[in-house]
Structure 1
Amino acid sequence: MMGDPAIDREAFKEFEREGFSRVAQGYDGAIAHVTSQANEGILDAVETGSGSRLLDVACGTGWLSAAALKRQAIVTGLDYAENMVVIGRSRFPQIEFHLGDAENLPFESNKFDAVVCNLGILHFPEPEKAIAESLRVLKSGGRYAFTCWTPPARNPFMALILGAVQTYGIIDVDLPPGPPLFRFGDPDECQKILSASGFTSVSVTELPITWTFSKSQDVMPTIIASSARLGPMLAMQTQEQSHDIENAIIQGAKKYATDNVIQIPASVVLAVGRKP
């Protein structure tokens, strides 16, 4: 899958950069709460502890970085969306945040004890390059971990959102094409890419995630306001399509009502490897 000719890498990268900068505040208030549920599992997988030098790639607004700091790790965060980095720096001044590219890391080789990437790999036009760069900056014996959403068949939240769009709207809207969204939701694909990149002791597991909303009517507006790709896809539907999609999401979300809130299950794949 190296170098897919159908993907304009620079157009995709710029779309993602601008998109995440635009929704940084909304992302921090919504999606970051969800994705942070994987933080402890990721940090356990790379054996993060006191004095560990850890690089958080695609760090967003710094939630995973902050969780590593609580373990007394020496933390560096990197993201290519400027507003994400601005929020991270303002909230966690003890952490060194960089604006930079996961596919061309601005660090010397053999620098870090661990490199982590929580739900960032699906946003890279050439994930193989990002993984190779993570390997390069790791010390020998260091560990690397990334997560990715599982596909709709194992992910009720994604099934709800994408199923509503497939039924009542258009999935293939006019956005820069990128790598397959759920490529690394396949454990075999994770195993293959990490092994091919030079990692050993590769393991792949699944972590549960829960999306929580005050009411079912909040689901679609929240995604539009906090997602760089799903949000624009939803926003680009016609008025009629948008109405039907939102109604389907509202009705589907009601099935997950509990204790006066909506809790929709999801999951991520956690892939881990060690540098020889």
Structure 2
Amino acid sequence: MLPLRPRRSRGLTSTLLAIVLLALMLAPVQWMVSTSLQPANGPRQGAWFPTDPDAGGYATALREQGGHLGTSLIVALGAALLSLALAAPAAHALALRPLRGAGPVLFGVLLLQAVPGITVANALHSAYADAGLLDSHLGLVLADSTAGVPFAILVLRSAMRSIPPEIVEAARLDGSGALRLFRSVVLPLSRNALVTAGVFAFLFAWGDTLFALALTTSDTVRPVTLGVYDYLGAHSTRWDATMATAVLASLPAAVLVVVAQRHIADSTAATVR
């Protein structure tokens, strides 16, 4: 039994270290929630949680930022759906169909991930001005998809390459055409990867600030990532409304990740294997 003690000791040390790291990572979240419940005249220094919580910040945030939250939701959902719609057929072609030049195409997809966002934003602003897409939901959806599509292709290609060839051949022998094979066999077997790619495409668009700043010039279409700056000024800062908006903006992303965590874990494990 003696050899087990070092292992138990190492396990206890690892657990304590994980708890400390988790506490450090959650500290900003605790501060954000606590500040959002403080009175409007400013947070009380040193208070871990307000003794007299005030929900006025949330009322202000919902009243003034509700439309911006709706814009972010529309853009993020649109970017996720568009990313999957474009990436799934491309990943299928790269994974299961013998195409000449597939290697350079995949390398080009990887290079797209390395292009600075400011470069893409500057190019899109000029093109959008000519096409009339500035201050539009469609414009932001298209712009945010430039980050979601390359990532989705990489994730989906890896998942589709792991599909047993026997299943594909059996479907073809049963008379499945290319479209039916893709719709009825490949996509269902790639469900975890589809969820993973869709979640990350949603998160890319939900947290975007660069494209929103470069491609919007008015309050007509304004995501919440820009709306929060309405509360930050040189002479006054409305911390309660600012943090309440941050909490509300964090909830959809947090809920989505929690709901989809099993699919994300399974997709990651399959990719590693």
TM range (shorter): under 0.3
Q: Which has the higher helix share?
A: 2
Normalised by the length of structure 2, the TM-score is: 0.23
Higher relative contact order (CA 8 A, sep 6+): 2
Which is higher, the Rg of structure 1 or of structure 2?
2
Higher strand share: 1
- TM-score (normalised: structure 1): 0.23
